[in-house]
Structures are given as C-alpha cells and as structure tokens.
Chain A
C-alpha cells in the first residue's frame, strides 16, 4: 500500500517525472554519461576528506539483490550506498527464499513491500532488471543481467580511462577474449560508441558475435594499434568438454593470452576481474605499472555512488544543484 501523502493536489507537479533506472547503456545519451562521470568526480573529491560519509541519501533504502556470486560489484554497491548514508539491505539468493524456489517476481514483490528507493540487482537472466522495474516502484540499477549488460562496469571503465589517459574522444581500445558471453563487453561497446572511442573486438571466432557494431578480428596482432587493451575473463565453462569454443585453455593462452611480448611499451591494460592469471592475462602484465586494474576497482566505488545518486535525483539540473549543495 502506498502511504497517504498530505500534499495539496495543486502543489504536485503536473505529471510525475518518469522513474529513472540504470539498466542498459543503450538507454543513455552522451549527456547522461558525462553527468554521471562528473558526479563521480565530485564524490571522489569528497572521499579525500577525513570523514568520508555524505548525508546525501540519508533515509533512503537501497536493496542489493544478488542472484550470482560477486565480490567487487556487491561490495562496492554496498559501500557506495553507505558512504551516501543510505540504509542498505543485501539479499543473496543462497540462504534466501530463492533457495526454496521463489520466483523473481515474488521476491521482487516481497522486497518491494518495504518501499525501497533503489533495488540493485544482479541476476543470471537477461531482462531480470526490467522485470523488477515492472513489479516494484523502486529505481532499478542493473548490476549485471546474464550476458546482457553491466552498465556500472562500463561507466567505471570510462571513468578510469578519463582519469588515467586524460580523455575519451579518439581513444582506441581493443577488447580481447570471450566477447560472446561477456556482459561487460556489450556495455563497453555501447559506451565507447557514445563517447567516440574506437573499439576493436579480438578473440577466437566462436566467441566473437557478429552484429555488435564494432570492428572484429581473430588476429591478436591487432591489439598493437590500440591505446588500451581490455582483457576479458576466460570463463571456465567455455572450455568444458563438448563446448569446443576453443580447443583448450592452453591453446587459448598461446594464441590470445596477453603477454608483455604482445604489448607495446606503455600500452595500458584493463580487466573487469576476477582474473585468471596465466590464462587470459600473464601475471607480469597484471602486476605491471601499465595495468589499471586496481584503479578500476577504486573507480567502482565513486561511479556506483554516482549511479545511486543519479537514479534518485534525475535530470542534469537536479544533479548539479544537489551536488553543489550537499557536497560543497
């Protein structure tokens, strides 16, 4: 039941603003991306202070609903909400009613009954966030839905690139590995297109989908032209017997693994984690000064703070005004 609100009808806005979710990069325009990155920079400044907690989302409830295991995404969303003073509630599928066979719809309705302001959801199925958005009145942030999208990962990668390379426009990024099964790659391809980053997809033929709108090649030599090499995790289930996406992990590593020899000096390397060292990425690369991997994790916090803030405030004007008022 909706609470009764004692507001005179004539004080209401003529039409409620559309509820804002962050489900897919495809829903964003360049302005939205720039606004989100700007908000993240503002929060980064605030985190340099001795007391890192901001009162911005005080009294708001953020529910983290995780149907898949996750370390960095779930921890950074939780910390992001806490840094903004929101109440948080984390529900993991293991140990919850999901174990008893409760459907996503019923779980969403149950959590929706607490009137959360935001539901952050990670789910193995494409379209799960849309279902939660349909069944609850919360703002929904997609923390990864199957092989579809992982928008906050793409945003934190843009943030990292901007911080480390000083620009986005005109950069060239090669994404290497299992593009087919990667929600990160799908979000990145769209995000790169929005900010005019040239993108080349590199990997074994069966793992390169056609029709994503980026250049594709099976030739690992193509990474030399890129400013940044973005390495995707080679998921173990892809090399199980009978899958035959690649003949073997050994062969994959030999032909597409990122080694120091395959990189130009100074070429930056990114990885969304978790890494399989010695498989898709040589440990020497992972630990080199040119690897931005830890920087990506750090960016995750401020970008997720920005994402929570953005869905709850809506509209560039509101964001700037509130950011100025509350952060300053």
Chain B
C-alpha cells in the first residue's frame, strides 16, 4: 500500500543515542546496527562491521513518523508540490510514510488515476507514500467511486477531504460499501450550510475583524452525524483535522460506547488559536479554521489521553502568488511536513505540556494503527524506519529552508527547538 523508489539500503551504526520506542516500551541508551536497510542488532554494544558510525550522543533515536494526511498536489498542481518535492519535505521532517489525499486535478477516483500515481511514486517518492482515493466521483458527493477496484490497486482509505459528504444517505452507503474493502473512510466534517462563506472561527476575533464566521458547530454537527452513522453501521471511520472542543467530546463519547472511530489533529490546531488571525497573514488561514483557546486545550487533552490517536500535518502547499492576496481571497491551507515535530516539541514538549513519548507515539504508531500500516519500530529483522532527533538543536524556518515547493508556512521566521538529524525510511537514509 506504500510505494517509493528503490534506494540503497543503509549500512549504519548509531551509537550513544537514547533509543526511544514508547509503544514497545524501549527507553535506553543502546546501539543500533542496520545492515542493508534492515535493523540487524539493538544492544548495549554492537559490532560496527565496518559500517559508517553515527555518533548519537545527546540525540534521540525513535521510530520514524507517519503522516496520514498530506496534499501532494499531483496530478494537476505540480508547481505547488510533486511526489519528489513532497516526499523530500517528508524526509526532512522525519517521516518514513505519508498518505496523500485524493483532492487533486483530476481527483483520484478511478483506477487509471490511482495507477498512474502509484507508478510515479515508484519513480519519484523518496519516502514511502500511500494514496487515498475519493469516496465519491469527482468528490461531487453524488455517486460512490469503484471502491473495490481502487482498494485492490492499493488505496489506503477513502476520503473526499477538502469537501464534506453532505448527504447523510450517501455517507451511510459509503460506510456500508467501504466495509467490503476493509479500508476505512477518512472524513472531512463540515456542514456547508453552517460554514457557508466562513473564513475564520466564529468568535470574538471574527466579530471584531468582520470576517464571516465558520462556527464550531459546523464541524461538530457533522461529526455527530457521522459518528451516529458509524455506530448504526458498526463500521470504522476516521475524523480528519479535528478543531472544535465539541467534536472532541463527541468522539470521546462515541469511543466509550464502542464505536470504532479515530481522530487526528494538526500541529497548527494544537498550537494556535484564532487570535493569530489578527495578523491577517494568509498563512494562518486553513480549513477548519483556528479556533478558541478552549478548543485548543481540548485538542491537547484529547491527544494526551488518546482520544485523538494521530497527529496529521494536513500539509497543504500553495503557490506564493495565490497566498499573496488579502486574507479573504487566499486559499485555505498551510504546509507542515518539515516543521511538525520541531514546533510540537517547542510548544508542547519543552514546556512540559505533552510527554515526548506521547508525541512520538501520536506521530508514528498512532496513525499507522488507524490506517492498517506496519508500525515503524526498532527491532532486529525489520526494515529500518528511524528518525534521529537532536532535542537541543535548532530548526530555523525561512523562505529558503523548505524542500517543499511551497513556503506557505505559519512558522516563517521562527527558530524552533530540536532538529531532525537523520531520517531512515524503508531502510534508506533519506535525510541527514
């Protein structure tokens, strides 16, 4: 279900690093040897076997990250991102796997389009990449795609991300049919008649600045609807980019009642509130919008207690000239692959709000579990999917620091604590 180009397997020994795999319960200073891309030994002392030796003193070696929600803009907007540039950005951010959304031009809704993407990934992707296919043809919300065929070709899941599935009846049919493919639905929850025309969270900031409001209830009413349908059909679903406290409460309640639902949250919703919109910087315009402080803290709490199992960047590259316009005219979306770990480390781990272990779990094992991917781990015999992190390092975010083709980051100009030193994805060193 994941594809990338063939790269030479690494022959590396990492010595002196704190090996941290919270899911496996490993936290010790260990040495790790990788032979031809496969973890060969994890022990207090391993032979170097003439491999290249990386000094990991003061660094953390962890399972590499999995991003279940990126936009690679291919096909259609290769000026904004390509499989090559998007996966290079992922490598820079410490990822060993990413899942691309199907809202491209054309939409990934046929075997031909998906097949072409898979072939491109085999040529161009430096980090293993999976693809979601659309729930409805053209994401028009009217007819289901040929989910069986798409799943057979390797679609990881189905999503109309970018737009909601407005019809409850169609959503029910999608849940029923997707069950036969064994692939989950990933849902963008937005009731368009409530969000209609909204650019900014409906609250004091939108009232003061004059923006049409996009209220929390526009998300939560759809979350409640879809959770009810999932409960009735006893089918799994995944809630994309949650933003509102009410949505989180609904997800928590549903999970307590045994509904097989999962959720994800983005770095920007964990760190920013609608207060950031006062800058009128188009790089803080996203859908769903940044919400109030109580929403932000509810998201952090849900991430901590496991109600939200995954951190997703919703990496959404945009051409510079399209963001260089007044806020209202700018498209929704910001990039995130290259800054996700560093900003969350800076804003949540360093101040003691979130344990490093939790952050690592929600960026790797959590999303892998939701989408049925093999969990990146540090154990003899598995392909190496590792990230080496310098917690004392600095990540400077500038216009020219990106491997992504786009620079619409809300972190431009910031110096973040921690740095990705090396990424090994599917056995190959893809970043150092």
Query: Is A18 located at the chain interface by the 8 A CB criterion?
Result: no
Docked-complex contact A127 and B204, CB < 8 angstroms = no
Give the interface residue-count category, chain A: 20 to 34
Q: B279 to nearest A CB, angstroms?
A: 9
Question: How far, in whole Å, are A210 and B280 apart by their CA atoms in the complex?
Answer: 20
A82 within 8 A of B: no
Most A-side CB within 10 Å, residue of B205, B208, B211, B327 = B208
Pick the interface stretch among B19-27, B318-326, B331-339, B403-411: B318-326
- Quick check: A146 and B210 within 8 Å, CB to CB? yes
Residues of B with C-beta under 8 A to A209: 206-207, 213
> How far apart sit A213 and B204, CA to CA, in the bound complex (Å)?
9
Contact B208 A186 (CB under 8 A): yes
Report the nearest B residue to A149, measured CB to CB: B210
Contact check, B208 vs A125: say whether CB atoms are below 8 A apart.
Answer: no
Among B195-210, those with CB < 8 Å from A are 203-210
Contact A148 B203 (CB under 8 A): no
Q: How far is it, in angstroms, between the C-alpha of A26 and the C-alpha of B210 when the chains are bound?
A: 13
Would you give the shortest CB distance from A32 to chain B, in whole angstroms?
A: 19
Chain A interface SS verdict (over half) = loop
Is A94 engaged at the interface, CB distance under 8 Å to the other chain? no
Question: Chain B residues with Cβ under 8 A from A168's Cβ?
Answer: none
The answer, yes or no, to whether A304 is at the interface (CB within 8 Å) is no
Q: A residues 200-236 with Cβ under 8 Å of B?
A: 209-213
CA distance A183 to B209 in the complex (A): 9
Chain B: CB-nearest residue to A179: B207
B53 interfacial by beta-carbon distance below 8 Å = no
Q: Which residues of A contact B203 (CB under 8 A)?
A: 211
- Cβ-based interface call for B36 (8 A): no
What CA separation (Å) do A209 and B211 show in the bound complex? 10
Partner of B329 from the list A125, A130, A210 (CB cut-off 8 Å) is A125
Interface residue A128 (Cβ < 8 Å from any Cβ of B): yes
A103–B326 alpha-carbon span in the complex (Å):
10
A105 at the interface (CB under 8 A from B): yes
Interface size class of B (residues with CB under 8 A): 10 to 19
**In whole Å, how far is A91's beta carbon from the nearest beta carbon of chain B?**
17
B328 interface residue per 8 A CB criterion:
yes
A189's nearest neighbour on chain B, judged by CB, is B208
B378 nearest CB across to chain A (Å) = 48
Q: Kindly state the separation between the CA atoms of A65 and B297 in the bound complex, as whole angstroms.
A: 43
Q: How far is the CA of A123 from the CA of B329 in the complex (A)?
A: 11
Q: Is the CB of B208 within 8 A of A211?
A: yes
Interface pair B326/A104, CB less than 8 Å apart: yes
Contact of A131 with B by CB under 8 A = yes
In the complex where A209-B213, A211-B203 touch, is A127 in contact with B326 (Cβ < 8 A)? yes
A-B contact count (CB 8 A): 64
In the complex, the chain A residue whose C-beta lies closest to that of B211 is A126
Shortest Cβ gap from A10 to chain B (Å): 33
The answer to whether A128 touches B210 (Cβ under 8 A) is: no
Does residue A276 face the partner (Cβ distance < 8 Å to B)?
A: no
Within 8 A of A (CB), among B207-224: 207-213
Residues of B within 8 A of A146 (CB): 210, 326, 328
Tell me, in angstroms, the Cα distance from A209 to B215 when the chains sit together.
12
Mark out the residues of chain A between 63 and 108 whose CB falls within 8 Å of any chain B CB in the assembled complex. Answer: 103-105
From B205, B321, B327, give the contact of A125 (CB < 8 A): B327
Q: Assess the B328–A126 pair: CB atoms within 8 A.
A: yes
**In whole angstroms, what is the CA distance A213 to B324 when docked?**
31
Identity of the chain B residue whose Cβ is nearest the Cβ of A125 in the assembled complex: B326
Chain B proximity of A97: nearest CB distance (Å): 16
Q: Nearest Cβ in chain A — how far from B355, in angstroms?
A: 35
> What CA separation (Å) do A39 and B112 show in the bound complex?
70
Contact of B209 among A123, A128, A148, A210 (CB under 8 A): A148
Contact residues in B for A125 (Cβ distance below 8 Å): 325-329
Q: Are B326 and A128 in contact (CB under 8 A)?
A: yes
Known: A126-B280, A209-B213. A131 touches B207 (CB 8 A): no
**Chain A residue at minimal CB-CB distance from B203:** A211
Residue pair B328, A131 in contact (C-beta under 8 Å):
no
A147 at the interface (CB under 8 A from B): yes
CA A126 – CA B326 in complex, angstroms? 7
Q: Are B324 and A103 in contact (CB under 8 A)?
A: yes
Contact A148 B210 (CB under 8 A): yes
Chain A: CB-nearest residue to B208: A212
In contact, B210 and A131 (Cβ under 8 angstroms):
no
Taking a contact as CB atoms under 8 Å apart, the answer to whether A126 and B208 are in contact is no
B203 shortest CB reach to chain A, Å: 6
Whether B210 pairs with A186 at a CB distance below 8 angstroms is yes
Which chain A positions have C-beta within 8 A of B213?
Answer: 209
Residues of A with C-beta under 8 A to B204: 210-213
User: Which 7 A-B residue pairings sit nearest by Cβ, starting from the closest?
Assistant: A211-B204, A147-B210, A125-B326, A209-B207, A127-B280, A148-B210, A211-B207
Contacts A125-B325, A125-B328, A183-B210 supplied; 15 other A-B pairs, CB < 8 Å? A105-B321, A125-B326, A127-B328, A128-B326, A131-B324, A146-B210, A148-B209, A148-B210, A181-B210, A209-B206, A209-B213, A210-B204, A211-B204, A211-B208, A212-B208
The 22 sampled A-B contact pairs (Cβ below 8 Å) are A103-B325, A104-B325, A125-B326, A125-B327, A125-B329, A126-B209, A126-B280, A127-B280, A127-B327, A127-B328, A128-B326, A146-B328, A147-B211, A147-B212, A148-B210, A149-B210, A183-B210, A186-B210, A211-B206, A212-B204, A212-B207, A213-B204
